[in-house]
Structure 1
Amino acid sequence: MDYVKPYGVVDSMLAGGALKLSLPPRQLVLRGMLAGAYLGIGTSMAVTVAVETGYWILGSLLFPFGLALAILLGAEIITGSFALLPCAAVAGQKNAGLRQVCANWGWVFLGNLLGSTLYAGLFAIALTTAGDAQINAVGTKLIAIAEAKTNYYASHGTAGLLAAFTKGMLCNWMVSLAVVAAFMSTSFSGKILAIWGPTLLFFSQGFEHAVVNMFLMPVGMLLGANVSVSTWWLWNQIPVTVGNLVGGMLFTGLAIYGAHHTSAPAATPSVPATMPAQPGTARADQPGYSPSY
């Protein structure tokens, strides 16, 4: 069986958090850039399919490809780190102090922003033949999305900020759950399926993901959306990022850790001493341990 039980998932969450905190800034930024680009590619594909077919749900079914690619290739997504690193801190792991956790988040956030905006620029060039062609239906939709994700919230003032924050919180409850769910299986197909479900739930309902918006806002602005940089950050990026932090940390990371963490291994039937360890119960200090996250 390739299913990993919840206590084994928690072990992998802690090992994944420890591994993230051990990475140098250069790798955090580079891995963050790759994740930002992968999510941008998944988003542009989803919007293209939704526009060409007329069914948003079809685009939603395909979007998880980008997140699955990022998780399985070990790229760094800030929303996943929002769930895993607080667990490492609560567990008292080495180098999991507040300063180290915040520094890690900062480097990953920067990488995600660079990778997402880079792909946004490349996609805008491809979509408009470097500005020499008319904006097509996909470009028009991207403009509308960028304006709806900023100007709509701004028109509602404080209520708009609360809505953006809440959508961000709900989003990362699902997305960080997808990151954790990848630990539930030791097989490639099992990980893909575990990632796909929660990601579909977020995208199909229009919740707000900080890294996805790092692509949607710049590409919309490059295509002509009536959105300024200050409007983007004030009415979307900041409240959504804070919402992602709260949702991932409280509803996924600390909730699952609190529900299933044990100070000692769960009781199991007696087995020979030479029997290999069960999948998902490995620790970061064991040779060859390399969690998917």
Structure 2
Amino acid sequence: AGAILALAAAFAVSITVNTGNALVGALLFPVGFCMLYLMGFDLLTGVFTLAPLAVLDRRPGATWSGVLRNWGLVFCGNLAGAVTVAFFMAIIFTFGFSEAPNAIGQKIGHIGEGRTVGYA
């Protein structure tokens, strides 16, 4: 799920940079969420919310150790997918690290920079 969502974000940024219209990119970003739903993948936020509810509702087979195991597996899967996509995006946008990032790579870099520097 992390990989699909990262690809959807890169797709939205690519469309925004190429068209110059942020609304078009914002309209196409939900395609990633539709793909996640149709393929049955789980995002970590949904698992964090729904798994404990099964234990609190005393559903058969739902235990706190099972919830923690599920959280760990979903976290590792989402992280691995997102990091893999980020690695390939870095290679693609810099032509194998031989050039400076293209316009899309620079935009993604500025978004990441803005998300982290804002907390300083």
Q: Which runs of 5+ in 2 are unaligned?
A: none
Supply the AA of the counterpart residue of 1:91: D
Q: Kindly state the Cα deviation for residue 152 of structure 1 after the two structures are TM-superposed.
A: 1.0
Q: Which residue of 2 aligns with 1:90?
A: 56
Q: How far apart, in 2, do the equivalents of 1:95 and 1:141 lie? A: 46
Q: Kindly state the Cα deviation for residue 140 of structure 1 after the two structures are TM-superposed.
A: 1.0
Give me the TM-score of the superposition, normalised by structure 1.
Answer: 0.39
1:144-169, CA deviations, whole angstroms, 9 ceiling, x for partnerless residues?
A: 1111111111x2xxxxxxxxxxxxxx
Q: How far apart, in 2, do the equivalents of 1:43 and 1:109 lie? A: 19
Q: How far apart, in 2, do the equivalents of 1:102 and 1:55 lie? A: 42
Percent same amino acid at aligned positions?
A: 38
**Pairing 1:49–2:29 present:** no
Pick from 78, 90, 106: which aligns with 1:124? 90
Pick from 33, 43, 49: which aligns with 1:67? 33
Q: How far apart, in 2, do the equivalents of 1:94 and 1:57 lie? A: 45
Pick from 108, 112, 115: which aligns with 2:78? 112
1:63-212 → structure 2 map (5 Å cutoff):
63-153=29-119, 155=120
1:44-82, CA deviations, whole angstroms, 9 ceiling, x for partnerless residues?
A: 000111122222221111111112111211122111212
Q: Kindly state the Cα deviation for residue 100 of structure 1 after the two structures are TM-superposed.
A: 1.4
Q: Whose helix fraction is larger, Structure 1's or Structure 2's? A: 2
Pick from 40, 43, 58: which aligns with 2:24? 58
Question: Which secondary structure does the structure 1 equivalent of 2:118 belong to?
Answer: helix
Q: How far apart, in 2, do the equivalents of 1:106 and 1:77 lie? A: 12
Q: Kindly state the Cα deviation for residue 83 of structure 1 after the two structures are TM-superposed.
A: 2.6
How much is the aligned-residue C-alpha RMSD, in angstroms?
1.3
Q: How far apart, in 1, do the equivalents of 2:65 and 2:31 lie? A: 33
Give me the TM-score of the superposition, normalised by structure 2.
Answer: 0.91
Q: How far apart, in 2, do the equivalents of 1:89 and 1:68 lie? A: 28
Larger Rg: 1
1:130-150, CA deviations, whole angstroms, 9 ceiling, x for partnerless residues?
A: 012331111111111111111
Q: Which residue of 2 aligns with 1:221?
A: none
Supply the AA of the counterpart residue of 1:76: D
Aligned length: 120
1:205-224 → structure 2 map (5 Å cutoff):
none
Q: Which runs of 5+ in 1 are unaligned?
A: 1-34, 156-293
